[in-house]
Structure 1
Amino acid sequence: MRMSRRTFAAAAVAAVLLPLSACGSGGDGGGSSDASGKVEGDITFQTWNLRANFKPYFEGLVAEFEKKYPGTHVKWIDQPAEGYADKISADAAGGTLPDVVNVSPDLVAPLARAGLALDLDKAAGRYKGEYLEGAWGAHRIPGTSGTYAFPWYLNTGPLFYNKSLFRKAGLDPDAPPKTYDQLFADALRIAERTGGKVATLANVPTIEDFGRYGVPLMNQDGTGFAFNDPKGAELLGKYKQLYDAKALDPQALTATPESSGKKFLTEAVAMNPGSALDLGNFKKQAPNLYRNIGITDQITSTGHVNMYVMGVMVNAQSKRKPAAVAFAHFVTDAAHQMSFAKQVAIFPSTAGSLDDPYFTQQDGTDETRVRVAAAKSLKNAVNYTPVLFSEQMKTALRNEVARALQGKESPQEALDNAVKQCDTLLRQQGQ
């Protein structure tokens, strides 16, 4: 399950789904978008790596739905995280895609373009007002009209920092950076004071980092990428300065979210993004770090933090659309999202849910502090990663960023090359 900020960042590969664009031309692939009619019959519901930890919850959910709608039967299947995109691709190509499918925006995009994801604006638009506006819009696909999945759980998180490392560098441990200028200045200070032995950051900038910095990521009609503008080059130039000064971990070029987390856990880097889930890990695995943990907000130039969103898609070719739509809505309605959120550190996407005392009242613990702050920020959070930004595009950007940090290209040249490669991949998606 993608619950923490780090695990959310490791999105499943969507590139393998690209050949599906030849299966249809958008819309609902010849299947009717009409989901009216009696809720009855057998449907299948597929989740993404949730059975191991949440089997009782989902079995109870299914039983409750079947009781509410006599004559229905839901077969719940769960797929492992690894190879999930491959499984969806194979099912879509073979005509065996389940009726209701747990997806992320990048996974639903090629399915929508292939006509395999039901347009909920047409089939279930009456439910739109039940969800946060930004969450409902997370599964809209540039170049198509419509929304292709119910929003389900959300996540975001703070920046954690090591107060001890800040203190040793002569920085105020209770005054973490709030702006990018402060972040870069503090990072250079820590590197200088430790002789380059302690880096502040362990990750190279990703597409969401450019978004938080205020860089336009795509043109207005969603037909091309735009993160190579002067502000994008400026951000990459700042990271180049950090890299040269060893304020950015030297292994950042090949780092994964997991390896970056371990660097922070072993106090080799001073800051790392995370979520409330991480606090328990710190307490258990790194007591010294936990005693010195600092918590601050995500740094952003836009006033909007980044959020990660999961969704529940309805197969446009389902023979039981009324039941499939009813169940997808049932899974994601306010009551069931709140129930799920109290079992694990995620957040509901339903309007008003984040005003519940569970997300607004402090009890003096760090876990609650993170939960309350995250819930507040989610009300106007943005999923910065473009829906059409595939895994291949992420790799292209990462490779060009590495070339810039190594001095093989200027920041502007690197981003120009990355945009060129991503635009080529984008055109291939639409073929």
Structure 2
Amino acid sequence: MRISRRALATAAVLATVLPLSACGGSDSGSSDASGKVEGKITFQTWNLKAEFKDYFNGVIADFEKKNPGTEVEWVDRPAEGYADKISADAAGGTLPDVVNVSPDLVAPLAKAGLALDLDKEASEYRKEYLDGAWKSHQIPGTEGTFAFPWYLNTGPVFYNKKLFKDAGLDPEKPPKTYDDVFEAGTEMAKNSKGKVAALANVPAIEDFGRYGVPLMNKEGTGFAFNDAKGVELLTRYKKLYDAEGLDAQALTATPESAGHKFLTQSVAMNPGSALDLANFKKDAPSLYKNIGITDQISSTGKANMYVMGVMVNSQTKQKPAAVAFAHFVTDKTRQMQFAKQVAVFPSTEGSLDDPYFTKQDGTDETKVRIAAAESLKTAENYTPVLFSEQMKVELKNQVAKALQGKQSPKAALDNAVKTCDRLLKQS
């Protein structure tokens, strides 16, 4: 998969429900995971070959050298249609042995019995990974963990110091909580007479999580973001929107369009990653010289974690080799190597204490990397594993109606939860 914070945040889910003919328990593979590591397996990734061909060829060669008698065939699929391809392979019995997945992609596969339960088959590896990362591929209401954690990402909030100063706000004291954002956004809109908005995007599910809203019930059978605290958050966004503290096009904004608004300095704040700094420096030097970097906005004290994983097909005929390779790709050595090639972070225990993630060198890029690494130690994946792309669209549409005054925040969230619960039952 192309690696970016935004891509991780918007990973597509399986577009069709897996038919019952695809089902099979995790014990239906033909071998025990603890057996001899041998044979040929297929490893599928998501839009990685163009940029990381040499890296993965090296990983495969090292694995085959370490395990004589093994052969790994690497297949890389384009991002477009990836979910559909997995769904078709699952239904047709051609799912690769080892598959690059996001938590929302693994959920229907686990429900269909096609994702190996690592808590049963490979529990000895759990201690090697950050607890939050390991839990990210667990499914509410289902026992087990269904993929090895792979790379993580998170990002800071960038802000425009000049726009803060022009609005009479202290550019050295950016907002850190949602309370701060609403106060600063209202003040900025007022002092700029509506010409500068604080944000260019409406609240998504992870905003509700970072505000402290419970997103699902404990059983994982229904959504709960329409509680009093969820209504409170949306009500406050409505007030900010009315005060012109949200960009006028926020209701239909995409991550790309919101980023463009920040790039052209018509909004003062935008989430991003270390990857964005080079773009600012190249494409918007006047913005770059005024760039401020702060932590993710959160009222829980915890940042949002985006995570990728590596799943083992429970139906594989070479279970020991498949488990061994999935672990090899995601072990501490390989994750550190990968993280130094691209702006992602390892999910392995202790890796974030490496000097690469802790030692300052005076550059903005390093500052962002160190801050992100520190936040990831306690970060959570606030997007529920069972929250599908359809559900994200439904929430965005209902939020838009509330901000436009077409319905109350309470009615909007009630409607969103009702639809999301219905979609959940259908999956």
Normalised to the residue count of structure 1, the TM-score between the two structures is: 0.97
What is aligned with 2:272? 274
Give me the whole-angstrom Cα distance separating, in 1, the residues matched to 2:420 and 2:181. Answer: 29
Q: Is 1:212–2:210 an aligned residue pair?
A: yes
Give me the whole-angstrom Cα distance separating, in 2, the residues matched to 1:427 and 1:125. Answer: 30
Instruction: Say if 1:27 and 1:112, in contact at 8 Å, map to a contact too.
Output: no
What is aligned with 1:161? 159
AA partner of residue 109 (structure 2): L
What is aligned with 1:11? 11
Deviations 1:385-423 (A, max 9, x none): 000001111111111101101101100000001011111
Instruction: Say if 1:152 and 1:310, in contact at 8 Å, map to a contact too.
Output: yes
Give me the whole-angstrom Cα distance separating, in 2, the residues matched to 1:186 and 1:26. Answer: 53
What is aligned with 1:304? 302
**CA displacement at 1:189 relative to structure 2:** 1.3
Give me the whole-angstrom Cα distance separating, in 2, the residues matched to 1:6 and 1:198. Answer: 24
The 3-state SS of whatever aligns with 2:15 is helix
Q: Which runs of 5+ in 1 are unaligned?
A: none
What is aligned with 1:293? 291
What is aligned with 2:409? 411
Deviations 1:204-234 (A, max 9, x none): 1011000000000011111111000111011
- In the alignment, which of 70, 73, 85 is matched to residue 72 of structure 1? 70
Instruction: Say if 2:8 and 2:308, in contact at 8 Å, map to a contact too.
Output: no
Change (3 A) 1:187 1:2: farther
The 3-state SS of whatever aligns with 1:101 is strand
AA partner of residue 383 (structure 2): T
AA partner of residue 161 (structure 1): Y
**CA displacement at 1:7 relative to structure 2:** 2.6
- In the alignment, which of 228, 231, 236 is matched to residue 230 of structure 1? 228
What is aligned with 2:137? 139
What is aligned with 2:384? 386
Give me the whole-angstrom Cα distance separating, in 2, the residues matched to 1:200 and 1:380. Answer: 27
**CA displacement at 1:198 relative to structure 2:** 1.3
Instruction: Say if 1:151 and 1:311, in contact at 8 Å, map to a contact too.
Output: yes
AA partner of residue 16 (structure 1): A
Q: Which runs of 5+ in 2 are unaligned?
A: none
AA partner of residue 354 (structure 2): D
What is aligned with 2:116? 118
- In the alignment, which of 343, 352, 355 is matched to residue 354 of structure 1? 352
Give me the whole-angstrom Cα distance separating, in 2, the residues matched to 1:129 and 1:345. Answer: 24
What is aligned with 2:317? 319
The 3-state SS of whatever aligns with 1:170 is coil
Give me the whole-angstrom Cα distance separating, in 1, the residues matched to 2:8 and 2:282. Answer: 22
Instruction: Say if 1:6 and 1:273, in contact at 8 Å, map to a contact too.
Output: no
What is aligned with 1:184? 182
AA partner of residue 15 (structure 2): V
- In the alignment, which of 201, 204, 207 is matched to residue 203 of structure 1? 201
Give me the whole-angstrom Cα distance separating, in 2, the residues matched to 1:29 and 1:126. Answer: 18
Give the aligned CA root-mean-square deviation in angstroms. 1.3
The 3-state SS of whatever aligns with 2:399 is helix
- Judge which range, 155-164 or 195-204, deviates more: 195-204
**CA displacement at 1:6 relative to structure 2:** 2.3
**CA displacement at 1:23 relative to structure 2:** 3.9
Give me the whole-angstrom Cα distance separating, in 1, the residues matched to 2:19 and 2:101. Answer: 17
Instruction: Say if 1:5 and 1:273, in contact at 8 Å, map to a contact too.
Output: no
- In the alignment, which of 328, 331, 335 is matched to residue 330 of structure 1? 328
**CA displacement at 1:32 relative to structure 2:** 5.7
Give me the whole-angstrom Cα distance separating, in 2, the residues matched to 1:270 and 1:21. Answer: 47
Change (3 A) 1:23 1:147: farther
The 3-state SS of whatever aligns with 1:20 is coil
Give me the whole-angstrom Cα distance separating, in 1, the residues matched to 2:150 and 2:285. Answer: 34
What is aligned with 2:90? 92
Deviations 1:281-331 (A, max 9, x none): 111111111100000111211111100000000001001111100000000
The 3-state SS of whatever aligns with 1:67 is helix
AA partner of residue 279 (structure 1): L
Change (3 A) 1:415 1:333: same
What is aligned with 1:35? 33
Give me the whole-angstrom Cα distance separating, in 1, the residues matched to 2:194 and 2:21. Answer: 53
What is aligned with 2:241? 243
What is aligned with 1:264? 262
Give me the whole-angstrom Cα distance separating, in 2, the residues matched to 1:25 and 1:94. Answer: 11
Instruction: Say if 1:20 and 1:110, in contact at 8 Å, map to a contact too.
Output: yes
Instruction: Say if 2:214 and 2:225, in contact at 8 Å, map to a contact too.
Output: yes
Give me the whole-angstrom Cα distance separating, in 2, the residues matched to 1:15 and 1:49. Answer: 17
What is aligned with 1:420? 418
What is aligned with 1:151? 149
Change (3 A) 1:20 1:33: farther
- Judge which range, 323-332 or 190-199, deviates more: 190-199
Normalised to the residue count of structure 2, the TM-score between the two structures is: 0.98
AA partner of residue 155 (structure 2): G
Instruction: Say if 1:23 and 1:114, in contact at 8 Å, map to a contact too.
Output: no
Give me the whole-angstrom Cα distance separating, in 2, the residues matched to 1:305 and 1:26. Answer: 36
The 3-state SS of whatever aligns with 1:145 is coil
The 3-state SS of whatever aligns with 1:264 is helix
Instruction: Say if 2:31 and 2:318, in contact at 8 Å, map to a contact too.
Output: no
The 3-state SS of whatever aligns with 2:96 is coil
The 3-state SS of whatever aligns with 1:248 is coil
Give me the whole-angstrom Cα distance separating, in 2, the residues matched to 1:423 and 1:23. Answer: 25
Give me the whole-angstrom Cα distance separating, in 2, the residues matched to 1:109 and 1:395. Answer: 19
Give me the whole-angstrom Cα distance separating, in 2, the residues matched to 1:11 and 1:313. Answer: 16
Change (3 A) 1:259 1:143: same
**CA displacement at 1:236 relative to structure 2:** 0.4
- In the alignment, which of 156, 169, 191 is matched to residue 171 of structure 1? 169
Deviations 1:100-139 (A, max 9, x none): 0000000000000001101111111110100001101100
Give me the whole-angstrom Cα distance separating, in 1, the residues matched to 2:236 and 2:309. Answer: 35
Instruction: Say if 1:4 and 1:278, in contact at 8 Å, map to a contact too.
Output: no
